[in-house]
Amino acid sequence: MNFPAALSLAGIDAFLTDEQNREVRNALLREEQMIASLDAEIAEAYAALEKLKRQRNKTQNFLHLNAAPSESELADIRTAITQREMRLAELEEEIGQVKLGVDALVGQQSDADQLSSDNSDAITVQSSLAQVDTEIQIHKAHLNHLMRERDEVLSDLDAQRAMLSPLSRLPLEILSTIFINCLPEEEYLNPHPKDAPLLLLQVSRGWRDLALSMSSLWSSISVRAGEDRCCPRKKLIETWLQRSGSRPLHFEIVENIAYDSTRELGVESFTTSADVLALFLPDFDRWKSVSLEYKDWRLGDIGFKNIPVDHGPLLLERLYLNRDYWQASVHPAVGGLFSGPRLRSVAWDGILNGYPNPAEIMPLHQLHELDLSIILPSQQFFSVLAQIPNIVTFRLSVSLGSKEDDWPELAKTPLTFSHLKSLRLLTNVMDERILDAIIAPSLEEFKVARPTVAWNGFTPERCWSHDHFKVFWQKSSKFSLKTLDFTDMDILPAELLELLQLFSSTLESLVLANDHVQDKCVDDAVLKALTPTPNSTMLCPHLEFIKFWDCTASMDGLAAELLEKRWEGGDDIAQLRMVLAYFGDEEKNSDNIRRLELAHQRKRGLTLLRPKKYETWTVSRAENVEENIVSTT
């Protein structure tokens, strides 16, 4: 190779002096060093970029993990947050500078327009405007790029900061449990955007995905079929059922449509209970708890004709049916529902055509809960008792005649209910015919009411038989009551006081109502025995709920003193959670009313009915509750 010739072609004189050669060599060396330095910087920049990518990818992976990050991972997330915050600050500064540049260019554009209007050199002005427009477009494109990057950085920061939140770091299993506990306490959920589960869908994408994946959140629903509309709409009901997956279903349908309205507008104008029930029929074998209520018994089709009759719902445990009158056409469907092998709870309201006692077609032997609202004669009542050996809770209504009437032989043999905890009776006579027929060693709740309004049956001289109740208590292993409830009973104050003494150590709820009868069961002695005082032993220190409903015949102010002290609570007595009070004679109870109003103002949670003003004020006890609900009664 001709080296001098090559140098000449490159514009370098090949015949240099030694000094010039040294300078060229030094220049080349400096160039090589500069290139090497640039290569090193480029390599370092690439390494830093790769590190940032790895950190970003690692941080992004954290966002998709189901498990909570470890301490080392949290440190990486905090480092990533710091870096993104620094980059965000740089971007904000660059965006500000670019905006200033755009403003300056817009100013130059305005000046160029002014020159054009002054008849300056048109070619020069147009060239200047074109150059300014180009610069503005370049700046705007750069600004858009910076703003997009800023949005990405902000999105990353939100996600990364969320990873540091204790709630966001919870494992999905724990968050799922929290979601379940967010559901309203009602057995049948009323779909509302301000309540779970619909509320959970509105928090974040992660929460939405988790809530939609949890079929247990969607297995309960309450439907109201009214004259104005069906709530929720059929489309939402279908979506709800789809989200419930294969979970057992709990649903309630309440039809509030009048027969006269269907005659006027046509039944096709309404979404009836039959239309709604048809949505649930494909999932018949998933029915677990079902409640069906109907306002007007004259409506023909209630959807029962399509209910399978050859077998009952395999999972059905609870069934509530409420209608004033049930036609004979529903017999097969009702029988099918009652044939569910797991049915344990039945509540029935209404007359069933062909069956004076609807319990005849019920699987009484397998029931744990039974609620019959119709009044049974004595023979049918005792027949039902004999068929419910495993009962835990029952509410029955019975009409007895005089003792001279036929007394069923069945009633003369005591029946032992080892599991019975709640006994609720509506009866015109509470004497040995009932009390001697039952042995209930596990009884915790005793509620008895006397029919008064529009009652045309036998009315004895006295309904309550105190001596026979004490015998009932003795032979039932001296059960310990938590709830005692007398409604319109003619129990005497002295008899009530004796019962309070018997159940003093366990009683938590006391309900006394005499607003439909002249008898008053609470006098001075009863009130004083329940009132906390320093020098005497108080009865029932664990009471949490008291209802006094026109039941007092005592000195004005004693009832208020009792409720005031119980409402405040103390070291040795439970604090009342709720109080319901009504004094029929305001003139004789002016001090009671005045003091209870003041007690309510100090600590809300009392409910006091004012018969003259026809208003009720009430607020349920809760921490920091300040709302006062006033409603017309």
Report the run of H or E that residue 278 belongs to, with start and end. Answer: helix 273-280
* Mean pLDDT value across residues 387-411: 81
**444 alpha-carbon distance from chain centroid:** 28
Count: domains in the chain: 3
The reply to whether 499 and 590 lie within a common domain is yes
Q: Are 617 and 495 part of one and the same domain?
A: yes
Same domain flag for 492 and 598: yes
Range from 137-141, 181-185, 523-527 carrying the lowest mean pLDDT: 137-141
Query: What does the DSSP assignment read for 293-314?
Result: EES-TT-S--SGGGS-SSS--T
**Residue spans of alpha helices (H) in 451-523:** 466-475, 493-502
Q: Model confidence over 498-551: pLDDT tens digits?
A: 999 999 999 999 999 998 888 899 999 999 999 998 877 899 999 999 999 999
Helix, strand, or coil here: 442?
coil
pLDDT tens, residue by residue, 537-588: 899 999 999 999 999 999 999 999 999 888 877 777 888 988 999 998 888 9
**Burial of 400 by CB count in 10 Å (0-12 exposed, 13-18 middle, 19+ buried)?**
buried
Q: How far is 363 from 344, CA to CA, in rounded Å?
A: 9
Residue with the bigger pLDDT between 517 and 1: it is 517
Asked which of 124, 151, 168 is the last residue of a domain, the reply is 168
Same-domain status, 13 and 161: no
Residue 388 lies in a domain: no
Name the CA radius of gyration of the chain, rounded. 41
Given a cut of 90, whether residue 497 has pLDDT beyond it is: yes
pLDDT at 520: 93
Contact between residue 248 and residue 286 where contact means Cβ atoms under 8 Å apart: yes
Q: How many CB atoms lie within 10 A of CB 198?
A: 18
Is 140 part of any domain?
yes
| Per-residue model confidence as pLDDT tens digits over 5-43 | 555 555 555 566 777 777 777 777 777 777 777 777 777
**pLDDT band (50, 70, 90) for residue 74:** confident
Any domain includes 202? no
Residue 621 has a pLDDT of 34
Looking at the domain assignment, is residue 330 inside a domain?
no
Any domain includes 324: no
Residue 510 and residue 535 in one domain: yes
- Residues 414, 419, 424, 428: what is their CA dihedral angle, to the nearest 10 degrees? 0
pLDDT at residue 628, rounded to an integer: 29
Q: How confident is the model over 196-204, as a mean pLDDT?
A: 90
Are residues 621 and 538 part of one domain? yes
Question: Does residue 33 sit in the same domain as residue 164?
Answer: no
**What span, in angstroms and rounded, lies between the C-alpha atoms of 568 and 605?**
11
Region 428-438: what's the mean pLDDT? 91
Largest separation between any pair of C-alpha atoms in the chain: 150
d(CA 88, CA 272): 59
- Domain boundary (11, 28, 51) is at 51
160 lies in the same domain as 27: no
Strands 438-439 and 393-399: unpaired
**Residues 489, 631: one domain?**
yes
Name the domain boundary from 115, 150, 168: 168
Burial of residue 308 (CB within 10 Å: 0-12, 13-18, 19+) is middle
Query: Would residue 468 count as lying in a domain?
Result: no
Q: Return d(Cα 483, Cα 475) in angstroms, integer.
A: 19
Crossing angle for the helix pair 466-475 and 493-502, to the nearest 10 degrees:
10
Is the model's pLDDT at 66 over the cut of 60?
no
DSSP bridge partners of 283 = none
Write down the pLDDT at residue 613: 45
* Domain assignment of residue 346, yes or no: no
| pLDDT for the residue numbered 629 | 24
Dig out the tokens for 589 from the structure: 């109870």
Calculate mean pLDDT across residues 274-297: 95
Residue 614 has pLDDT above 50, yes or no: no
Same domain, 497 and 578: yes
- Whether residue 4 is predicted with pLDDT greater than 60 in this model: the reply is no
pLDDT surpasses 70 at 434: yes
Same domain assignment for residues 602 and 551: yes
Average pLDDT score over the chain: 84
| Torsion, Cα of 241, 247, 250, 255 (10° steps) | 20
- Residue 626: pLDDT band (50, 70, 90) is very low
Using CA atoms, how far residue 276 sits from 280, 305, 337, 400, in Å, is 7, 14, 17, 41
Output the pLDDT for position 82: 87
pLDDT value at position 279?
Answer: 97
Residue predicted with more confidence, 494 or 78: 494
Residues ≥6 apart with Cβ < 8 Å to 405: 378
Are residues 96 and 138 located together in one domain of the fold? yes
Does 80 fall in a domain?
Answer: yes
Quick one: pLDDT at residue 531? 93
Nearest alpha-carbon partner for 344 in 282, 290, 405, 268 = 290
Q: Helices 590-602 and 558-568: crossing angle, nearest 10°?
A: 10
For residue 572, the model assigns a pLDDT of 77
Residue 8 structural domain: 1-51
Of 194, 200, 195, nearest in space to 212 by CA: 200
Secondary structure class of 418 (helix, strand, coil): coil
Distance CA 472, CA 470 (A): 5
